[in-house]
Structure 1
Amino acid sequence: MTLPPPQLEHLCNVAVTIAAPVEVGHTPAGLRRMIPITGGTVTGPLVNGKVLAGGADFQLILGGGTQAHLDARYVIELADGSRVFVQNTALRVASLENSQRIMNGQPVNPEEIYFRCQPKLEATAPQWAWLSESQFVGTGRRAPDGVYLSFYRVL
Protein backbone atom coordinates (compact mmCIF):
# COMPACT_ATOMS: atom_id res chain seq x y z
CA MET A 1 0.00 0.00 0.00
CA THR A 2 1.38 3.38 -1.02
CA LEU A 3 0.35 6.33 1.13
CA PRO A 4 -0.24 9.74 -0.47
CA PRO A 5 2.79 12.03 -0.65
CA PRO A 6 2.97 14.82 1.91
CA GLN A 7 2.14 18.38 0.92
CA LEU A 8 4.52 21.29 1.49
CA GLU A 9 3.73 24.69 2.99
CA HIS A 10 6.19 27.56 2.46
CA LEU A 11 7.51 28.66 5.84
CA CYS A 12 10.09 31.31 4.99
CA ASN A 13 13.13 32.40 3.02
CA VAL A 14 16.42 32.83 4.84
CA ALA A 15 19.30 34.98 3.58
CA VAL A 16 22.39 34.15 5.63
CA THR A 17 25.46 36.40 5.59
CA ILE A 18 28.82 34.73 6.12
CA ALA A 19 32.46 35.53 6.84
CA ALA A 20 35.52 34.04 5.19
CA PRO A 21 35.79 30.26 5.59
CA VAL A 22 38.06 28.78 8.23
CA GLU A 23 39.96 25.94 6.56
CA VAL A 24 40.32 23.17 9.14
CA GLY A 25 42.07 20.86 6.69
CA HIS A 26 42.05 17.20 5.74
CA THR A 27 41.01 14.77 8.47
CA PRO A 28 40.46 11.01 8.27
CA ALA A 29 36.78 11.81 7.52
CA GLY A 30 37.50 14.26 4.68
CA LEU A 31 38.16 17.96 4.14
CA ARG A 32 36.71 20.05 6.98
CA ARG A 33 35.74 23.72 6.74
CA MET A 34 33.88 26.07 9.08
CA ILE A 35 31.94 29.03 7.68
CA PRO A 36 31.09 31.69 10.31
CA ILE A 37 27.53 33.03 10.14
CA THR A 38 27.43 36.79 10.68
CA GLY A 39 23.68 37.48 10.42
CA GLY A 40 20.86 37.53 7.94
CA THR A 41 17.16 37.98 7.36
CA VAL A 42 14.12 35.72 7.57
CA THR A 43 11.05 36.62 5.51
CA GLY A 44 8.00 34.61 4.69
CA PRO A 45 4.35 33.90 5.00
CA LEU A 46 4.67 32.20 8.42
CA VAL A 47 7.97 33.34 9.98
CA ASN A 48 9.82 36.67 9.92
CA GLY A 49 12.87 37.86 11.80
CA LYS A 50 16.64 37.91 11.64
CA VAL A 51 19.55 35.49 11.85
CA LEU A 52 21.75 36.34 14.81
CA ALA A 53 25.52 36.49 14.43
CA GLY A 54 27.50 33.71 16.07
CA GLY A 55 26.42 30.59 14.25
CA ALA A 56 28.48 28.50 11.85
CA ASP A 57 28.20 26.04 9.00
CA PHE A 58 30.46 23.02 9.55
CA GLN A 59 31.30 21.38 6.25
CA LEU A 60 32.66 17.98 5.28
CA ILE A 61 33.82 17.88 1.66
CA LEU A 62 33.82 14.43 0.02
CA GLY A 63 33.69 12.81 -3.40
CA GLY A 64 36.95 14.38 -4.51
CA GLY A 65 35.43 17.78 -3.77
CA THR A 66 32.05 17.34 -5.44
CA GLN A 67 29.94 16.67 -2.32
CA ALA A 68 29.52 19.03 0.60
CA HIS A 69 27.81 17.64 3.70
CA LEU A 70 26.70 20.69 5.67
CA ASP A 71 25.72 21.13 9.30
CA ALA A 72 24.71 24.74 10.03
CA ARG A 73 23.73 25.82 13.53
CA TYR A 74 22.42 29.27 14.32
CA VAL A 75 19.68 31.24 16.08
CA ILE A 76 16.79 33.13 14.52
CA GLU A 77 15.19 35.98 16.44
CA LEU A 78 11.57 36.28 15.33
CA ALA A 79 9.75 39.58 14.87
CA ASP A 80 8.11 39.20 18.32
CA GLY A 81 11.50 38.69 20.04
CA SER A 82 11.16 34.92 20.43
CA ARG A 83 14.20 32.88 19.53
CA VAL A 84 14.46 29.67 17.52
CA PHE A 85 17.51 27.39 17.42
CA VAL A 86 18.16 26.03 13.92
CA GLN A 87 20.17 22.96 13.04
CA ASN A 88 20.15 22.61 9.29
CA THR A 89 21.81 19.60 7.68
CA ALA A 90 22.22 19.70 3.93
CA LEU A 91 23.74 18.04 0.91
CA ARG A 92 25.26 20.11 -1.86
CA VAL A 93 26.47 18.26 -4.98
CA ALA A 94 28.21 19.96 -7.88
CA SER A 95 30.75 19.29 -10.58
CA LEU A 96 34.37 19.58 -9.51
CA GLU A 97 34.67 22.87 -11.41
CA ASN A 98 31.59 24.37 -9.72
CA SER A 99 32.66 23.02 -6.33
CA GLN A 100 36.02 24.75 -6.67
CA ARG A 101 34.29 27.97 -7.71
CA ILE A 102 32.06 27.80 -4.61
CA MET A 103 35.04 27.12 -2.34
CA ASN A 104 36.86 30.11 -3.88
CA GLY A 105 33.88 32.41 -3.34
CA GLN A 106 33.02 32.70 -7.03
CA PRO A 107 29.49 32.67 -8.47
CA VAL A 108 28.00 29.52 -10.01
CA ASN A 109 24.84 28.80 -11.94
CA PRO A 110 22.42 27.58 -9.23
CA GLU A 111 20.64 25.36 -11.76
CA GLU A 112 23.81 23.23 -11.95
CA ILE A 113 23.95 22.63 -8.17
CA TYR A 114 21.92 20.14 -6.12
CA PHE A 115 21.39 21.79 -2.72
CA ARG A 116 18.71 20.35 -0.41
CA CYS A 117 18.37 20.61 3.36
CA GLN A 118 16.49 19.33 6.41
CA PRO A 119 16.20 22.15 8.97
CA LYS A 120 15.26 21.20 12.52
CA LEU A 121 13.74 24.06 14.51
CA GLU A 122 13.57 24.38 18.31
CA ALA A 123 11.26 27.15 19.48
CA THR A 124 11.45 28.77 22.91
CA ALA A 125 7.99 30.39 23.11
CA PRO A 126 4.64 28.54 23.38
CA GLN A 127 3.14 30.33 20.37
CA TRP A 128 5.91 28.88 18.22
CA ALA A 129 5.80 25.32 19.63
CA TRP A 130 4.49 24.04 16.27
CA LEU A 131 7.96 24.77 14.80
CA SER A 132 9.40 22.12 17.15
CA GLU A 133 6.57 19.72 16.31
CA SER A 134 6.92 19.79 12.52
CA GLN A 135 9.28 18.41 9.90
CA PHE A 136 10.85 20.78 7.39
CA VAL A 137 12.71 20.46 4.11
CA GLY A 138 14.31 23.11 1.99
CA THR A 139 16.29 24.19 -0.99
CA GLY A 140 19.43 26.27 -1.02
CA ARG A 141 21.66 28.40 -3.18
CA ARG A 142 25.22 29.36 -2.35
CA ALA A 143 26.32 32.78 -3.59
CA PRO A 144 29.58 34.66 -3.02
CA ASP A 145 27.89 36.95 -0.47
CA GLY A 146 26.01 34.28 1.48
CA VAL A 147 23.57 31.41 1.46
CA TYR A 148 19.92 31.66 0.40
CA LEU A 149 17.44 29.07 1.67
CA SER A 150 13.72 28.41 1.34
CA PHE A 151 12.15 26.29 4.09
CA TYR A 152 8.95 24.28 3.71
CA ARG A 153 6.83 22.59 6.37
CA VAL A 154 5.93 19.02 5.55
CA LEU A 155 2.17 18.69 6.15
Structure 2
Amino acid sequence: MMRIEPGLEFVYEAGGELGDPVPIGETPDGTRRMIPIYEGPVEGPKIKGRLFGGGADWQLTRHDGVTVADAIYAIKTDDDVVIQIRNRGLRHGPPEVLERMMSGEEVDPAEYYFRTVPEFIAPTGKYDWLNKSIFVCAGARFRNGIKLWVWRVT
Protein backbone atom coordinates (compact mmCIF):
# COMPACT_ATOMS: atom_id res chain seq x y z
CA MET A 1 0.00 0.00 0.00
CA MET A 2 1.25 3.49 -0.81
CA ARG A 3 1.92 6.01 1.90
CA ILE A 4 1.71 9.78 1.62
CA GLU A 5 3.58 12.05 3.97
CA PRO A 6 2.32 15.55 4.65
CA GLY A 7 4.52 18.54 4.06
CA LEU A 8 4.55 22.04 5.50
CA GLU A 9 4.16 25.37 3.70
CA PHE A 10 5.08 28.50 5.69
CA VAL A 11 2.17 30.95 5.90
CA TYR A 12 3.16 33.76 8.29
CA GLU A 13 4.93 35.00 11.40
CA ALA A 14 2.92 37.03 13.90
CA GLY A 15 4.01 39.00 16.91
CA GLY A 16 1.55 40.25 19.46
CA GLU A 17 1.51 42.30 22.61
CA LEU A 18 -0.10 40.62 25.61
CA GLY A 19 -1.77 42.14 28.62
CA ASP A 20 -1.20 41.10 32.20
CA PRO A 21 -2.70 37.71 33.06
CA VAL A 22 -6.12 37.87 34.73
CA PRO A 23 -6.31 35.06 37.30
CA ILE A 24 -9.52 33.06 37.34
CA GLY A 25 -8.38 30.58 39.94
CA GLU A 26 -8.10 26.95 40.86
CA THR A 27 -10.60 24.57 39.25
CA PRO A 28 -10.95 20.77 39.28
CA ASP A 29 -8.98 20.74 35.98
CA GLY A 30 -6.17 23.02 37.15
CA THR A 31 -5.47 26.75 37.36
CA ARG A 32 -7.25 29.00 34.89
CA ARG A 33 -6.32 32.48 33.71
CA MET A 34 -7.11 34.81 30.82
CA ILE A 35 -4.46 36.74 28.91
CA PRO A 36 -5.58 39.69 26.75
CA ILE A 37 -4.17 39.73 23.21
CA TYR A 38 -3.45 43.13 21.66
CA GLU A 39 -2.14 44.20 18.27
CA GLY A 40 0.99 43.09 16.48
CA PRO A 41 2.37 42.53 12.97
CA VAL A 42 1.53 39.59 10.70
CA GLU A 43 4.03 39.00 7.88
CA GLY A 44 4.18 36.14 5.44
CA PRO A 45 4.31 35.13 1.80
CA LYS A 46 0.50 34.74 1.57
CA ILE A 47 -0.86 37.08 4.21
CA LYS A 48 0.13 40.42 5.70
CA GLY A 49 -1.64 42.56 8.25
CA ARG A 50 -1.98 42.99 12.01
CA LEU A 51 -3.37 41.06 14.89
CA PHE A 52 -6.66 42.76 15.66
CA GLY A 53 -6.80 43.82 19.33
CA GLY A 54 -9.49 42.48 21.61
CA GLY A 55 -8.72 38.77 21.63
CA ALA A 56 -7.79 36.60 24.58
CA ASP A 57 -6.12 33.33 25.50
CA TRP A 58 -8.16 31.38 28.07
CA GLN A 59 -5.42 29.23 29.55
CA LEU A 60 -5.56 26.20 31.80
CA THR A 61 -2.44 25.01 33.61
CA ARG A 62 -3.04 21.37 34.40
CA HIS A 63 -1.81 19.58 37.51
CA ASP A 64 0.95 17.96 35.40
CA GLY A 65 2.39 21.42 34.58
CA VAL A 66 1.15 21.54 30.97
CA THR A 67 -0.51 24.81 29.93
CA VAL A 68 -3.43 24.37 27.52
CA ALA A 69 -3.92 27.42 25.32
CA ASP A 70 -7.33 28.30 23.87
CA ALA A 71 -7.01 31.67 22.17
CA ILE A 72 -9.58 33.48 20.05
CA TYR A 73 -8.47 36.55 18.13
CA ALA A 74 -8.42 37.99 14.61
CA ILE A 75 -6.13 39.25 11.87
CA LYS A 76 -6.97 42.36 9.87
CA THR A 77 -5.15 42.02 6.56
CA ASP A 78 -3.48 44.88 4.70
CA ASP A 79 -6.44 44.80 2.29
CA ASP A 80 -8.96 45.20 5.18
CA VAL A 81 -10.23 41.62 5.47
CA VAL A 82 -10.92 40.38 9.01
CA ILE A 83 -10.10 36.70 9.64
CA GLN A 84 -11.10 35.02 12.89
CA ILE A 85 -8.72 32.51 14.50
CA ARG A 86 -9.17 29.97 17.26
CA ASN A 87 -5.75 28.70 18.25
CA ARG A 88 -5.55 25.73 20.64
CA GLY A 89 -2.48 23.89 21.83
CA LEU A 90 0.03 22.99 24.53
CA ARG A 91 3.02 24.58 26.24
CA HIS A 92 5.30 22.72 28.64
CA GLY A 93 8.92 22.28 29.56
CA PRO A 94 11.32 21.67 32.40
CA PRO A 95 10.08 23.40 35.60
CA GLU A 96 13.19 25.59 35.87
CA VAL A 97 12.71 26.84 32.28
CA LEU A 98 9.03 27.64 32.88
CA GLU A 99 9.92 29.45 36.13
CA ARG A 100 12.42 31.62 34.24
CA MET A 101 9.76 32.38 31.62
CA MET A 102 7.11 33.23 34.26
CA SER A 103 9.58 35.57 36.02
CA GLY A 104 9.87 37.60 32.81
CA GLU A 105 13.22 36.30 31.62
CA GLU A 106 13.55 35.88 27.85
CA VAL A 107 13.89 32.13 27.28
CA ASP A 108 14.99 30.47 24.03
CA PRO A 109 11.84 28.79 22.60
CA ALA A 110 13.95 25.69 21.85
CA GLU A 111 14.04 25.09 25.64
CA TYR A 112 10.30 24.35 25.88
CA TYR A 113 7.46 22.91 23.80
CA PHE A 114 4.83 25.38 22.50
CA ARG A 115 2.71 24.06 19.63
CA THR A 116 -0.84 24.88 18.57
CA VAL A 117 -3.38 24.16 15.86
CA PRO A 118 -4.94 27.38 14.53
CA GLU A 119 -8.37 27.17 12.91
CA PHE A 120 -9.30 30.01 10.57
CA ILE A 121 -12.70 31.45 9.70
CA ALA A 122 -12.15 33.59 6.62
CA PRO A 123 -14.80 35.19 4.42
CA THR A 124 -15.39 33.92 0.91
CA GLY A 125 -12.87 35.41 -1.49
CA LYS A 126 -9.12 35.90 -1.50
CA TYR A 127 -8.49 34.21 1.88
CA ASP A 128 -11.02 31.36 1.79
CA TRP A 129 -8.09 28.95 1.25
CA LEU A 130 -7.57 29.33 5.02
CA ASN A 131 -10.90 27.52 5.55
CA LYS A 132 -9.75 24.52 3.52
CA SER A 133 -6.58 23.26 5.21
CA ILE A 134 -5.09 22.15 8.51
CA PHE A 135 -2.48 24.43 10.07
CA VAL A 136 0.17 24.00 12.75
CA CYS A 137 1.95 26.64 14.74
CA ALA A 138 5.13 26.93 16.82
CA GLY A 139 5.21 29.67 19.40
CA ALA A 140 7.46 31.63 21.72
CA ARG A 141 6.24 33.39 24.87
CA PHE A 142 7.87 36.53 26.22
CA ARG A 143 7.11 38.71 29.25
CA ASN A 144 4.51 40.90 27.50
CA GLY A 145 4.38 39.34 24.07
CA ILE A 146 4.13 36.32 21.88
CA LYS A 147 5.62 35.20 18.57
CA LEU A 148 3.84 32.65 16.36
CA TRP A 149 5.02 30.86 13.22
CA VAL A 150 2.23 29.25 11.20
CA TRP A 151 2.43 26.54 8.51
CA ARG A 152 -0.21 24.96 6.29
CA VAL A 153 -0.10 21.15 6.24
CA THR A 154 0.11 20.11 2.57
Q: Aligned letter for 1:37?
A: I
Question: After TM superposition, what 4+ stretches of structure 1 lie above 4 angstroms from structure 2?
Answer: none
Distance 1:120 1:114 in 2: 20
Aligned residue pair count: 154
2:148 paired with 1:149:
yes
| CA distance in 2: counterparts of 1:77 and 1:98, whole angstroms | 34
Q: Could you say which residue in structure 1 is the equivalent of 2:78?
A: 79
Question: Cα distance, 1:2 vs. partner?
Answer: 5.7
Instruction: Output one character per residue of 1:74-100: Cα deviation in whole Å (capped at 9) or x when no partner.
Output: 010011100100000111111122223
Residue 123 of structure 2 corresponds to which residue in structure 1?
124
TM-score, normalised by the number of residues in structure 2: 0.94
Structure 2 distance, partners of 1:63, 1:97, is 16
1:92 maps to 2:91: yes
Aligned partner of 2:29 in structure 1 is: 29
Q: Distance in 1 between matches of 2:101 and 2:94?
A: 10
Aligned-pair Cα RMSD in Å: 1.3
Q: CA deviation at 1:109?
A: 2.6
Name the SS of the counterpart of 1:97 in structure 2.
helix
Residue 102 of structure 1 corresponds to: 101
Q: 1:27 to 1:2 in 2, by over 3 A?
A: farther
Paired position in structure 1 for 2:18: 18
Please tell me the residue identity of whatever aligns with 2:50: K
Is the CA contact (8 Å cut-off) linking 2:75 and 2:84 kept in structure 1?
yes
Shift of 1:138: 1.2
Quick check: 1:82–1:125 contact (8 Å CA) kept in 2?
Answer: no
Structure 1 residues without counterparts, runs of 5 or longer: none
